[in-house]
Structure 1
Amino acid sequence: MPDNRVPGFGETYGEMYGPVPPPDRPLPPGHDGPASPPPPHAHRPPPQSYGYPPPTRQLPQQSSYAPEPQPYVPEYPGPTYAAPPPKPPRPPRTPRPLLAAVLAALLAGAGAGYAAGALGDKDPVAPGRSPTQSASPTKPPSKPAGLDEVAAQVLPSVVSVETEDGRGSGFVFDEQGRVLTNAHVVDGSSRAFIVLQDGRRIAARVLGTDPARDVAVLDAETARGLIPAKLATKSTDKPAVGDTVLAIGSPLGLAGTVTSGIVSGVDRKVGLGEDESQQALQTDASINPGNSGGPLVDAEGRVIGINTAIAQLDEDGDGKGNGGSIGIGFAIPIGDAVDAARAIIGG
């Protein structure tokens, strides 16, 4: 009889469910036949232990290697940048021949200066000077004053001269407050007024005139506030052609007007006043009606002449000039004017 034991179980199939009917034998009525056998694993008892450890499931070992992250590469090509090529090494600098020559010249000059100083120390002491006494340093030349400073220095001495018949200019020339002007300005008047730069009017008496030299002297009633101008009466003060000059006066009644120019000529023979031939200074400083009698001063503020006349063009042919200054003016030298003034004052 075959063994009907089910693996893993101690009972046979017949012991549990009865004999197995033959395949061709019909089943009795009311009997549907034996129940279907359970699956092999149903009611399976735990496996018996035979002294070996139960099998364990071995997991596949994971490797520690991880792929390196790759940079992101766009699907379209972008611009490429290349680093600039490195600069070639700079060649070493070599000294220039010019620098060497200059250095040699400096060394030679220093040696020569040292030698000259050594020789100078051995020179004998000048007569009248002690060995410890040194020569006085040379005084640097004084800086010439600007024309604005010259004008500011002279203007307080310049006055306007007014008479019944006209007006002109003048300037204070001595400590007594006497005023020097042209004879044709007062034109035979015995009285006049002088107007100072601050607007004060002072009555004055006409001491006298020299029509030949065109010079007149006025004596103010008071000398208060009258400042005499510096006069260039020394022989060393004579002007030269090209010297800078200022013409100051009251042209057309404009008191305190200053124009500049140069000495264009000296010892010009011109007809001034009643004298047909008189020495005069020529200047291109603008001189206009009303400037007559005013001072012509140099760059140091000294009066070198009295503005007297201007040359004019005779456009009408009538012997009378027309227009204003054409850059040719004449002034009486101050030496001649002072000589005439002294003669007038001395009577």
Structure 2
Amino acid sequence: MTAVLVAAVTGAAAGLAGAAAFRYGEPATALPRAAPAVSGGATGLSATASMVLPSVVSVEAGRAGGSGFVVDGSGHVLTNAHVVRGAFDVTVVLSDGRRLGARVLGSDDDEDLAVLEVVGAGSARLPPATLGRSADLSVGEQVLAIGSPLGLSGTVTAGIVSATDREVRLGGASRTAVQTDASINPGNSGGPLVNARGQVVGVNTAIAAGRGGGNIGIGFAIPIDRAAPIADRLIRN
């Protein structure tokens, strides 16, 4: 809210200054501007984000909220178990704003993973994300975290892989995780960590926070090489 108010005040102040300059007949100065961008497809990380965003959903489960992403052509959604734990009614919000009911098809609390079955997934035509290989990640590689931090759906943050096999406590036990400095905050849980090729390489799950809470540049994702077989098992069983 503060950022919005500052922008509004700045815009209003700029408008008043412009009007005053015109009123008193001061010569207008044309500042040099870059030529208009040639229309074309997105490139780089912008293209990566555009590729993955349609597959990412917001997850609403009672008072809890998080993120998830579609993993197959049947519209199953992978998220964190802690996002939907104890919830009877689950809603997924698609990237275009549509809201669909869902049920928890299965969960693995030890690995902190859950699969949702979305009502009407076939007619909704949910595009699945492309799963990559976390084993191929390298420290320093660029990644994107996509999700709904603090309820802000479709948020994309960028960073690098800080470590590929950091040992942390996830779910009910100590697990290895992908560490990243891409900004991850409450609400990102269950969303995808994506490499520069638009492939999901992890499930964003936890952050290390200071006393005041919030992101301090240390986030953790469940490696997709471990998450994908668990999701497949939950869907089949």
User: With structure 1 as the length reference, what TM-score do the two structures score?
Assistant: 0.54
Partner of 2:199: 302
SS of the aligned residue for 1:338 comes to helix
* Maintained 8 Å contact 1:145/1:299: no
Partner of 1:217: 115
Consecutive aligned runs of 4 or more in structure 1 exceeding 2 Å deviation? none
Partner of 2:129: 229
Select the structure of larger CA radius of gyration. 1
1:173 aligns with 2:71: yes
**Which of 55, 61, 66 in structure 2 is aligned with 1:157?**
55
1:234, CA displacement in angstroms?
A: 8.1
* Maintained 8 Å contact 1:212/1:273: yes
* Maintained 8 Å contact 2:59/2:68: yes
Query: What root-mean-square deviation, in Å, do the aligned CA atoms of Structure 1 and Structure 2 show?
Result: 1.5
1:145, CA displacement in angstroms?
A: 4.3
1:263 aligns with 2:161: yes
SS of the aligned residue for 2:83 comes to helix
Q: Distance in 2 between matches of 1:342 and 1:173?
A: 9
Q: Distance in 2 between matches of 1:260 and 1:148?
A: 10
Name whichever structure is richer in helix by fraction: 2
* Maintained 8 Å contact 1:247/1:307: yes
For residue 331 of structure 1, what is the amino acid of its counterpart?
A
Partner of 2:231: 341
Q: Distance in 1 between matches of 2:169 and 2:134?
A: 25
- 1:232-251 alignment to 2 at 5 Å? 232-233=132-133, 238-251=136-149
How many residues of Structure 1 are paired with residues of Structure 2 in the alignment? 194
- 1:57-206 alignment to 2 at 5 Å? 145-206=43-104
Q: Deviations over 1:160-213 (max 9, x none)?
A: 000112110000011100000000000122431100011100111100111111
Q: Deviations over 1:198-248 (max 9, x none)?
A: 11001111001111110000001122230000000486xx21101100000
For residue 199 of structure 2, what is the amino acid of its counterpart?
R
Name whichever structure is richer in strand by fraction: 2
| Structure 2: stretches of 5+ with no match in the other structure | 1-41
* Maintained 8 Å contact 2:134/2:224: no
Partner of 1:273: 171
Higher relative contact order (CA 8 A, sep 6+): 2
- 1:7-86 alignment to 2 at 5 Å? none
Q: Distance in 2 between matches of 1:323 and 1:204?
A: 30
Partner of 1:290: 187
Q: Deviations over 1:8-67 (max 9, x none)?
A: xxxxxxxxxxxxxxxxxxxxxxxxxxxxxxxxxxxxxxxxxxxxxxxxxxxxxxxxxxxx
SS of the aligned residue for 1:343 comes to helix
* Maintained 8 Å contact 2:185/2:214: yes
* Maintained 8 Å contact 2:69/2:128: yes
Q: Distance in 2 between matches of 1:216 and 1:190?
A: 14
* Maintained 8 Å contact 2:53/2:95: yes
